[in-house]
Structure 1
Amino acid sequence: MSLITPRTPPGVMELLPRQQVAFQRMLDTIRRGYERFGFVPVETPVFETVDTLLTKSGGETEKQVYFVQSTGAIAQGHKPDMALRFDLTVPLARYVAEHERDLAFPFRRYQIQRVYRGERAQRGRFREFYQCDIDVIGKDSLSLHYDAEMPAVIYHVFRELDFGGFTINVNNRKILLGLLDGLGLSDAETRVLVLREIDKLDKIGRDKVRANLTGEELKVPGDVADKILSLIAEEKSNDETLAALRALGIENGTFLKGVDELTTVIEGLKAFQVPDGYVRINLAIARGLDYYTGTVYETFLNDHKGIGSVCSGGRYDNLASHYTKSTLPGVGISIGATRLFFQLMDAGLIKDAGATAQVLVTQMDAALGPDYFRMAAELRAAGLNTEIQLEGGKIARQMKYADKAGIPVVILMGSDEKARGTATVKHLVKGEQVEVPLGELAERVKALLGRG
């Protein structure tokens, strides 16, 4: 029988155990941050019915969808009736519409699950990846205070993640839409295309964006393009930016409403005690997805902007219009955890974590097996993750195992130590070693781990 060469499918992130521990701890930090603000967990199936998943997406999304079909259905020539989810927003819309009567509104949910897209396989682009989403969904209306809460959550989570300095960019799409309308660009389709070009400003630069705006497809007058780009390029404090927007004298209703909404969000962030230095009004942020209707967010790491946005989202008017007649406005953000982790690990900013075990009880003498089991049980009862070396063998090999696995503390007890009622505790990283009474073992291990 010929062997099949084992290989990871393209477009997935498969990690070694200590890397996986580091990734799981990142997810745990995000989860704790979401729960600290009162969001509740939701999980939806990995696949949805095709009519649910593709209601609003159209042809482009369908090209990236993985369809799901049983072998029996294939044999019978049936078309697929299910597909893997490509984001967590469409499943949320279906979930809220289906369970509307059972949910308390505003509905505050977080969801940390894998999604699937048929991306072209390349380094740093994934076909299977984790998204970490939060959304607040209202019934009929939703206060702008929730738009201010989203950056407060981002601030809290990224401070806990400790990846370095970061900036939460905030804007309101109504400002740009109203500004374009006030400058004579009244065609709705043209305005959407212009917004998409403006959203590329940080990626392709001013000159390229101007060339695209004034080119044959959009035909934006040069003086209008310059006015838009000049306003966007100005770097001021948030209060100065808001004052500058009001000073433009534009009486367009959409524009004025956008300025008022953005002002409310900035004032709300002060109430949430988010420092000004972490939030910047960035009029270039438009978000490419057309269903955002007001506030939008993009978050960047200050020292690693090449990574791109690490957390994005915004406000939408009616989440579930395809599934219910109820009006369900919402606001949400998403962290692309797989891409973020991969790029930070690639940049050397995330190191392999240790093992889940904090302590390894070694086996120096097979006759003392019951003592080792009792010792491990007492350490676990004291809240210490403890593994027992069950095979015994040379102590040097056991120590090498602990070092390679990333277990920081080992316990050694031979017949001499047992006779004295002690055990030796060794911290492999610090190089510290001490013999302690068995009754003080858990306390001394915690102290050595910095948990005393």
Structure 2
Amino acid sequence: MTDQQMVRPAAISGFPEWLPEVRIVEQHWLDVVRAGFERYGFCSVETPSVESLDVLMAKGETSQEVYALRRLQEDAGDSSDSRLGLHFDLTVPFARYVAQHFNDLVFPFKRYQIQRVWRGERAQEGRFREFTQCDIDVINVDHVPLHFDAELPRVIHDVMTGLDLPEWTLNINNRKVLQGFYQGLGVDDPLEVIRTVDKMDKLGAKGVGELLSTKVGLTGRQVDACLELASVRATHASVVDAVQATGVRSELLAEGLDELAFVMDALRDLPEGSVVADLSIARGLDYYTGTVYEGKFKDWPNYGSICSGGRYENLAGSFIRRNLPGIGMSIGLTRIFAKLLAEGLVTTGPSCPSDVLVVLPGDEHRVVAAEVAGTLRGRGLNVELYHQADKVAKQIRYASRKGIPFVWFPPFSEGRAHEVKDLATGEQRAADPEAWQRT
């Protein structure tokens, strides 16, 4: 570069990127997640990376995190892009999608969506400005059967077990339990208490108690009761007994406890301790109305949630005059992957997907080498033909550096046979490109 200033290459904070040997592991994870969702009958949906700002701000709660779009050299008077923004989650675009395609969908509609999302917040450990979410949702007209509240955590448990993660726990609560309990205490604004209790991970019981007293205006007795409820943990439906022992009663509380007990009973067959009724889980978003979920690593309790979600009554109500309740969960794939990578728990593989490198000692052999490569590819192998005529030793080093396990030597002279070299063992033997199997 002579007329331009050299630009120093640097990663942008909060926008992760991986080397090929790491990316290939992430792609495997995505395949595991996709296959797991499809095993339960969820179909794939993809929405545009951008939505109108009216859609993105329909719920209003995260509007400050939206990245708005603007062309750097837009034409004078052209404001066509001024009302567009990058989606900050996949739930709001999904609600718009369902409303738009309502007459073409079969309900209950079970969808999964694996895409990048963007949030304009301060980057820190576990929080990114660009990341991949893996969502599943069930949405239906007027009513979503309660058994889906148990099916979704089972799907997530199966998928995340397939990723062979360090020990983690899926914590489950019900917003009706919280709201009904606070109503039974005589609290004027139960939703404000829910938002405050949702800070338990960050502030601890003492900090939350102080906020409930000073900011929300609860009495000492009410604060103590709220903290007592938040301390309840159970691995099965005995959570009902623990809440009833507090002496607080309300119709909504009883309804929420029945739903929570149903979900916990339906998941009893999962490994002991992997699913816990945790009454400190609040999920502060206002649109959650029933069951809520939050997954955490056991060894890193202060790390952000690795999966989350809940039941909502009518998320699509901003877009269509039909009652469309639903329930959804999301796996924070980038958050999980980045943490395990930082802890040295991701075993990276080769830096390319090739099974075989076909050598090319001279340009006069290119046709023969290309035919062999084509034959092997036709049998389902990933094959790379070396890019130029070169010394064979150099080509073998190239394969070794990229993690390509086998090097193929076509018969470049009369009377010679095909040979393949296993770089792991150093063994080289005759092989037939029409029959050879990778071992």
TM-score over 0.5 (shorter chain): yes
Compute the displacement of 1:231 (Å). 3.5
Compute the displacement of 1:18 (Å). 1.9
Residue matched to 2:167: 165
Matches for 1:164-183 after TM superposition, within 5 Å: 164-183=166-185
Residue matched to 1:152: 154
Residue matched to 1:211: 210
Instruction: Identify unmatched segments of 5+ residues in structure 1.
Output: 448-452
Pick closer, same or farther for the CA change 1:330–1:202 going to 2, 3 Å.
same
| Whole-Å separation in 1 of the counterparts to 2:234 and 2:51 | 45
Residue matched to 1:41: 44
The code of the aligned residue for 2:436 comes to A
> Identity, % of aligned pairs?
42
Compute the displacement of 1:172 (Å). 0.4
Q: Is the 8 A contact 2:69 2:82 kept in 1?
A: yes
Compute the displacement of 1:279 (Å). 0.7
| Whole-Å separation in 1 of the counterparts to 2:90 and 2:340 | 23
Compute the displacement of 1:349 (Å). 1.4
Compute the displacement of 1:274 (Å). 2.9
Matches for 1:305-384 after TM superposition, within 5 Å: 305-354=301-350, 355-364=352-361, 366-384=363-381
Q: Is the 8 A contact 1:382 1:442 kept in 2?
A: no
The code of the aligned residue for 2:277 comes to I
Aligned-partner SS, 1:113: strand
Q: Does 1:18 align with 2:21?
A: yes
Compute the displacement of 1:440 (Å). 7.2
Q: Does 1:69 align with 2:67?
A: no
Compute the displacement of 1:312 (Å). 0.4
Count of residues paired in the alignment? 434
- Deviation string 1:168-215 (CA, Å, 9 cap, x unpaired) is 111101111111111221x23xx222212222223332222222222x
- Deviation string 1:49-92 (CA, Å, 9 cap, x unpaired) is 2222212215xx33222222346766328492222211111111
Residue matched to 2:280: 284
| Whole-Å separation in 2 of the counterparts to 1:414 and 1:124 | 53
- Deviation string 1:134-172 (CA, Å, 9 cap, x unpaired) is 110011101011110111111111111111222111110
Compute the displacement of 1:41 (Å). 0.9
Select the structure that is richer in helix. 1
Q: Is the 8 A contact 2:114 2:132 kept in 1?
A: yes
Compute the displacement of 1:308 (Å). 2.2
| Whole-Å separation in 2 of the counterparts to 1:381 and 1:248 | 68
| TM value normalised by structure 2 | 0.92
| Whole-Å separation in 2 of the counterparts to 1:72 and 1:394 | 50
Aligned-partner SS, 2:289: coil
Q: Does 1:240 align with 2:242?
A: no
| Whole-Å separation in 2 of the counterparts to 1:437 and 1:92 | 52
Residue matched to 2:252: 254
Residue matched to 1:450: none
Q: Is the 8 A contact 1:359 1:408 kept in 2?
A: yes
Instruction: Identify unmatched segments of 5+ residues in structure 2.
Output: none
| Whole-Å separation in 1 of the counterparts to 2:399 and 2:246 | 66
The code of the aligned residue for 1:136 comes to V
| Whole-Å separation in 2 of the counterparts to 1:306 and 1:432 | 47
Q: Is the 8 A contact 1:137 1:331 kept in 2?
A: yes
- Deviation string 1:278-298 (CA, Å, 9 cap, x unpaired) is 211111111121111000011
* The 10-residue stretch of structure 1 (313-322 or 202-211) with the greater mean CA deviation from structure 2: 202-211
Aligned-partner SS, 1:294: strand
Q: Does 1:274 align with 2:270?
A: yes
| Whole-Å separation in 2 of the counterparts to 1:50 and 1:106 | 28
Q: Does 1:103 align with 2:101?
A: no
Of 101, 113, 116, the match for 2:115:
113
Q: Is the 8 A contact 2:363 2:388 kept in 1?
A: no
Compute the displacement of 1:420 (Å). 4.4
| Whole-Å separation in 2 of the counterparts to 1:122 and 1:262 | 34
Compute the displacement of 1:414 (Å). 5.8
Q: Is the 8 A contact 1:163 1:349 kept in 2?
A: no
Aligned-partner SS, 1:75: coil
Pick closer, same or farther for the CA change 1:67–1:15 going to 2, 3 Å.
same
| Whole-Å separation in 1 of the counterparts to 2:373 and 2:64 | 54
- Deviation string 1:285-337 (CA, Å, 9 cap, x unpaired) is 11121111000011122233343211100000111111111000000011222
| Whole-Å separation in 2 of the counterparts to 1:377 and 1:12 | 38
| Whole-Å separation in 2 of the counterparts to 1:307 and 1:419 | 64
CA RMSD after TM alignment = 2.3
Compute the displacement of 1:115 (Å). 1.5
Q: Is the 8 A contact 1:364 1:412 kept in 2?
A: no
| Whole-Å separation in 1 of the counterparts to 2:303 and 2:135 | 19
Of 384, 388, 393, the match for 2:390:
393
Residue matched to 1:409: 406
Residue matched to 1:125: 127
| Whole-Å separation in 2 of the counterparts to 1:250 and 1:368 | 84
Q: Is the 8 A contact 1:199 1:287 kept in 2?
A: yes
| Whole-Å separation in 1 of the counterparts to 2:196 and 2:426 | 59
Compute the displacement of 1:255 (Å). 0.3
The code of the aligned residue for 1:269 comes to L
Residue matched to 2:263: 265
| Whole-Å separation in 2 of the counterparts to 1:177 and 1:124 | 30
The code of the aligned residue for 1:404 comes to R
- Deviation string 1:330-359 (CA, Å, 9 cap, x unpaired) is 000112222222222111111333221122
Q: Does 1:295 align with 2:286?
A: no
| Whole-Å separation in 1 of the counterparts to 2:95 and 2:195 | 24
Residue matched to 1:90: 92
Aligned-partner SS, 2:280: coil
The code of the aligned residue for 1:165 comes to E
* The 10-residue stretch of structure 1 (142-151 or 434-443) with the greater mean CA deviation from structure 2: 434-443
Of 389, 404, 427, the match for 1:433:
427
| Whole-Å separation in 1 of the counterparts to 2:29 and 2:42 | 18
Pick closer, same or farther for the CA change 1:439–1:102 going to 2, 3 Å.
closer
Pick closer, same or farther for the CA change 1:439–1:411 going to 2, 3 Å.
closer
- Deviation string 1:415-449 (CA, Å, 9 cap, x unpaired) is 57x734240321x3x33413133267622xx22xx
